[in-house]
Structure 1
Amino acid sequence: TVEARVVYTAAETGDGVRVLGIEYQVQLVGDEVEETVVNVTNHSYFNLTGNPTIEGTEVSLCTNSYLPVDDGGIPTGNPTAYKGVEANKTFTLGVEEPDIDDCFIVDPSAASSIPLDTRKSPLTKLVTAYHPQTKIHLEVWSTEPAFQFYTGKYIDVPAVEGQAARGKRSGFCVEPSRYVNAVNVPEWKAQVVLKKGEVYGSRVVYKGWSDE
């Protein structure tokens, strides 16, 4: 049995920045097993445009190191450079491109030293996003060593209770986490294996504001 706790903290700074903090804590309780695999994240979508798609959103990632995958989405090896993306350099999301759904690695050199509980680690600004039409800014910070960045190619949500349908590229995701497939890589396995008596933890902070 896994006991998971999620704590949300909302605040607004004096200069109008709205801050949402999320803290995850997971423990293995009960006597069924001695260990299990845990990799906790969330799949929130963001659209800063005020329009049906994310077209025109200006984005930068803190890294261009990612885990290449096979046709089934399973990582095939060590982190490598993502073509077309440079760390901390802004690129614009267009109508169709770039089409991204990959796990980016914050610091590949730290792969084998990630603690099970990262909450005491410093927050890293993973992603910044801005749209010039709405002048809305978003920053995603986390203590986690990786994040999935997804530009929404497969979104297909019907209209529900007066809410408009959501289609392809109607939002983007930033999912702070451990390395995808870490449990199957000996050097990364300790990131995600939770044993009895241990604590898994992480923090995520979202910051949003408008220039208007």
Structure 2
Amino acid sequence: MNWKHWAGSAMVAATLSGSAQAATARREDGGRLADGRAVEAIALANGHGVSARILAYGAALQKFMAPDRHGKSADIVIGLPDAGAYEARQSFFGVTVGRYANRIAGGKFTLDGQTYQLPLNDRVNSLHGGGKGFDRQLWKVESVTSGKVASVVLRHISPDGDSGYPGTLDATVTYSLDEAGNLTIAFAAKTDKPTIVNMTNHALFNLAGEGGPRDAMDEVLTIPAAHYTPVNAALIPTGELRAVAGTPFDFRKGRVVGQALRDGHDEQLAIARGYDHNFAIDAGLTKAPKLLALLADRASGRVLEVLSTEPGVQFYTGNFIDGTMLGKNRHIYRMGDGIALEPQKFPDTPNQPAFGSARIDAQHPYAHTMIYRVSITK
């Protein structure tokens, strides 16, 4: 069988839907922070073996269970055992990142003639909000709902000047799980004065099951992007939109993730220690979520589709995961144990106008809808 052709079609997977059943949402104990604060976890489950566990700390996707072609469930995201572990060491595993996901060069940007300085937590750059971003906050659980769709709404208010960003930002993240295996994550934010926003989820997936004997490098990935944004030595986009054709970055027809991962002939793989690059999705920015990536595990039959309204997706092969962190069930995570597919605006967009705009204001709030859709192929 031509696996590249198989992975390139989002239509080959059999959905997990069936007769209508009620999806459930349940509050659980998510652990405690160092200051004693209790953290809620919310477990969402449908009637077909798909479930997700959300931590209020970091608005994080801590667990995502999905069945294989034989009905055996496995947790397909890497993560930490409880909220205290997330607080003790910043991992970004499954968290909501913001205010600005990915890198901003030098931690600086200019808005309406005023320059703002953000914390530098990635050598000379600001990464995922500067080190004390949305992943380090205890979000308020606004509502928990069971029914045809199970959901939880989380809210965080980031004050004016927080980590150097202008404007008071009122942000919400809504996780919803339906009977068809769609885990929808809807981000929304409103501000009292102009600012920049770029929110996403930072889950790292292994469709074989986290902590198992197989890493994610043998999975087949499809990304419908004819171009990507190459980076400099500081992992900041150079401004070029480079064609993927004839390079290890061509995932349009599907390719095994690890096929060219260690090919040092490509300077971009050498710079990033693997894949840590933004792909410019052919469809661009859209009103409705469209396919950004499709990941398939041939052995288990699990398929993951990533859909979003955003114009880019950051593909990251866990290059900086070095075996020093114990994850769930005391699993030792290493490079390649999970891959991230992060829908987003392009990195460093506030400093590169050709990439579009990340600006919002009181009249133009922020919205981003993304979907993790799990299914199986026989």
TM-score, length of structure 2 as denominator length = 0.48
- Structure 1 residues 140, 161: closer, same or farther in 2, change over 3 A? closer
| Match in the other structure for 2:202 | 43
Identify which of 286, 300, 307 aligns with 1:134: 300
- Structure 1 residues 22, 158: closer, same or farther in 2, change over 3 A? same
Structure 1 counterpart SS, 2:374 = strand
Structure 2 counterpart SS, 1:53 = coil
Bigger Rg, structure 1 or 2? 2
Identify which of 24, 45, 55 aligns with 2:217: 55
Identify which of 255, 260, 265 aligns with 1:91: 255
Deviations, residues 63-82 of structure 1 (Å, cap 9, x unaligned)? 13111110001111131113
Check the 8 A contact 2:221/2:251 in 1, yes or no. no
Deviations, residues 90-121 of structure 1 (Å, cap 9, x unaligned)? 1002287262110111138x6xxx5xxx6xx1
1:74 aligns with 2:236: yes
The CA distance in 2 between the partners of 1:104 and 1:164, in whole Å, is 30
CA RMSD of aligned residues (A): 2.1
User: Which segments of 5 or more consecutive residues in structure 2 lack a partner in the other structure?
Assistant: 1-167, 263-273
Letter in 2 for 1:11: D
Matched length: 194
1:182 aligns with 2:349: yes
Higher relative contact order (CA 8 A, sep 6+): 1
| Match in the other structure for 1:106 | 281
| Match in the other structure for 1:24 | 187
Check the 8 A contact 2:196/2:360 in 1, yes or no. yes
- Structure 1 residues 52, 158: closer, same or farther in 2, change over 3 A? farther
The CA distance in 2 between the partners of 1:192 and 1:38, in whole Å, is 6
Letter in 2 for 1:97: L
Q: Percent identity?
A: 27
The CA distance in 2 between the partners of 1:85 and 1:126, in whole Å, is 14
Cα offset for 1:186? 2.6
User: Which segments of 5 or more consecutive residues in structure 1 lack a partner in the other structure?
Assistant: none
Cα offset for 1:35? 1.4
The CA distance in 1 between the partners of 2:221 and 2:359, in whole Å, is 33
Cα offset for 1:158? 1.9
The CA distance in 1 between the partners of 2:205 and 2:290, in whole Å, is 19
